[in-house]
Chain A
Amino acid sequence: MVTLDGRLDTSNADQFQQDIAPLMQGDKPDIDIDCTGMTYTSSQGLRLFLTLQKSVMARGGKMVMRNMNPQVKEVFDITGFSNIITIV
């Protein structure tokens, strides 16, 4: 389980990318991202989630984002990313 807090934008996207790099190793990784504390994501965050999901799926695993607040969810909705990323 990965827990996200606060804003995800250009200022911390690189750090986030480094933090999630170990998750992209191995076979059939199942990644569960808890977004309870996440308050915002920029396009940079969307790109990172997309990269992460592609990498996980290429290894036969799955990625799920959960407990997203409506404001963050709206970003996924209006960009069409709700159609790509599994959000529960």
Chain B
Amino acid sequence: MKLDMHGEMILDQYRDNLPVYNRIKDIALDSIQKCLADNGIIVTGLEGRIKTEKSLTGKLELKGYKYRTVEDITDIVGLRIITFFSDEVDIISALAEKLFDIDWENSVDKRKMLEIDRFGYMSLHYICRLPKSICDDPSTPQLNTLRFELQMRTALQHVWANMQHDTGYKSDVEIPIHYQRSLNRLAGILELADEQFSRIRKEINDYRRNVQSLVASGNFNEVPLNGDTFRSYSELQPFKRLVDKIATINQAEIYDDSIMPYYKVLLQMGMKTIGDIERMRIENSDSAYQLALIQLAGTGLDIIAYSVALQNICIVHILKQGFGEAGLVRMFDSLYGESDYNIQRAARIYQQAQKTNFFVKPNADKLACMLRREKGPLKRNIL
């Protein structure tokens, strides 16, 4: 490639400016990274690059006449933020407006530039400068005068842009109508997918907020049991009273572990709502304490896990329901995986429970029903 004198002059300016471009890129990337972290925004990509000499030469060869000096070229430093969701592009652009000085005359929202009969799926481009609040180095004033381009797009917009780059298609190039139609359809699918992802995320967030408020307000019967609702419920520390009482047996320290592993046990036990768990808690807390008393009194064990409260409640509930040792084995298999030890443990607890007033003899009908539902674990066990 051969440039004219004007082009060569701009190229020389570019070479002189390279150290500054690198500093601008690094400072801008750091600022964005910190800003995203401060605002709790997770993105799928954040990248920066300096236009290569080869690429700049190509640009100057094609339209070097448009630029008086290298300062007129705004994309030598390019930064890109790739988001998961389309609404995050708007949030990040608002943050960028606060962070950098935006050259509005040269910034474009390419998302709004598309005509209805043209294909494409574009992103938001801001032309920015570093403000002195971010970087103030009197020895290098160009840090605040040279502009850089900040692209903000979703992951799907990024896919589209890369495909477009790879295939060499540009929206201003005439292509056969059937290709145009195929690309239009594809762009439509990506745009629709972006919208749907954002909509679904909003609905899930609304649902979670609603459920959290229902849980917090104590309307447990209206709250279906799922991973999210159980987590919200567990945050209320519903078993604290019982575990505090169990801790008094040996003046024990309580280690605050998670009760989330019990989620699948509760589902297995047929719990449908948080209200079902609450009823089980209320009905069985005294018996669960009684079981802990049998197990812990005289041992001197002065540390217990918070989850021991729910563990004992589940054990009591299973025994009271008449599921006997088989029910306990099923619970332990679910929690820790199948093992012969689970059978021994169930037998030991069953023996201990026989001395209590909550003990109920196993119900043959219920056991048979449970066995019919079971495909794996109980075929090998004590029955």
Q: Which residues of A contact B (CB under 8 A)?
A: 42-43, 46-47, 50, 70, 73-75, 77-84, 87
Option from A42, A73, A75, A79 in Cβ contact (under 8 Å) with B308: A79
Chain A neighbourhood of B179, CB < 8 A: none
Contact of B307 among A74, A75, A80 (CB under 8 A): A80
Beyond A83-B257, A83-B305, list 4 extra A-B contacts (CB 8 Å): A43-B300, A74-B345, A80-B308, A83-B335
Chain B: how many interface residues by the 8 Å CB criterion? Answer: 25
Interface centre among B292, B300, B341, B348 (most CB of A within 10 A): B341
Instruction: Let me know if A80 and B304 touch, CB within 8 A.
Output: yes
Q: Contact check, B307 vs A83: say whether CB atoms are below 8 A apart.
A: yes
- Nearest residue (CB) in A for B349 is A77
Most buried by A among B252, B300, B305, B336: B305
Task: Judge whether B371 is part of the interface by a CB distance below 8 angstroms.
Answer: no
B296 contacts chain A at the CB level, 8 A cutoff: yes
Can you report 19 A-B residue pairs in the complex whose CB atoms are below 8 A from each other?
A42-B300, A43-B252, A43-B302, A43-B303, A50-B303, A70-B345, A73-B341, A74-B348, A78-B299, A78-B308, A79-B296, A79-B301, A79-B305, A80-B304, A80-B308, A80-B309, A83-B311, A84-B255, A84-B257
Verify if B295 is at the interface (C-beta below 8 Å from A).
Answer: yes
In the complex formed, the residue of B with least CB distance to A74 is B348
Does any Cβ of A come within 8 Å of B306's Cβ? yes
Bitwise, B120-145 to A at CB < 8 A (1) or not (0) is 00000000000000000000000000
Interface residues of B (CB under 8 A from A): 252, 255, 257, 261, 292, 295-296, 299-309, 311, 335-336, 341, 344-345, 348
Q: Which residue of A lies closest to B337 (CB)?
A: A88
Q: How far is the CA of A47 from the CA of B304 in the complex (A)?
A: 10
Measured CA separation A47–B240 after assembly (Å): 21
Q: Give complex CA distance A78, B341 in Å.
A: 14
A83 touches B304 (CB 8 A): no
Q: Select A82's contact among B255, B302, B336, beta carbons within 8 Å.
A: B336
The CA of A80 and the CA of B292, in the complex, are separated in Å by 10
How far does the Cβ of B15 sit from chain A's closest Cβ, in whole Å?
A: 43
Residue of B nearest to A82 (CB): B336
Residues of A within 8 A of B257 (CB): 80, 83-84
For the complex, would chain A's binding face be called helix, strand, loop or mixed by DSSP majority?
A: helix
Residues of the A chain whose Cβ atoms lie less than 8 Å from the Cβ of B345: 70, 73-74, 77
**With A70-B344, A84-B255, A87-B336 given, is the CB distance from A78 to B301 under 8 Å?**
yes
B305 touches A70 (CB 8 A): no
Q: In chain A, what residue has the closest Cβ to B257?
A: A84
Residues of A within 8 A of B307 (CB): 80, 83-84
Identity of the chain A residue whose Cβ is nearest the Cβ of B305 in the assembled complex: A80
From known contacts A50-B255, A70-B344, A74-B348, infer whether A80 and B300 are also in contact, taking CB-CB under 8 Å: no
Asked whether, in the complex, the Cβ of A75 is within 8 Å of the Cβ of B301, the reply is yes
Bound Cα distance A75, B301 (Å): 8
Q: How close is A79's CB to chain B, nearest CB, in angstroms?
A: 5
Q: In whole angstroms, how far apart are the Cα atoms of A46 and B257 in the complex?
A: 14
Instruction: With A70-B341, A87-B336 as known contacts, state yes or no: A80 contacts B301, CB within 8 Å.
Output: no
Q: Which residue of A lies closest to B291 (CB)?
A: A78
Q: Is the CB of A46 within 8 A of B341?
A: no
A56 to chain B, nearest CB (A): 16
Residue of A nearest to B254 (CB): A80
A46, B303: Cβ atoms under 8 Å?
yes
Question: In the bound complex, what is the Cα–Cα distance between A27 and B300 (angstroms)?
Answer: 36
* A83 contacts B261, C-beta separation under 8 Å: yes
B296 and A78 form a contact (CB under 8 A)? yes
Q: How far is the CA of A83 from the CA of B257 in the complex (A)?
A: 8
Q: With the chains together, A87 CA to B296 CA distance in Å?
A: 20
Alpha-carbon gap, A47 to B309, bound state (A)? 19
In angstroms, Cα B301 to Cα A42, docked, is 7
Report the minimal beta-carbon distance from A74 to chain B, rounded to whole angstroms.
Answer: 7
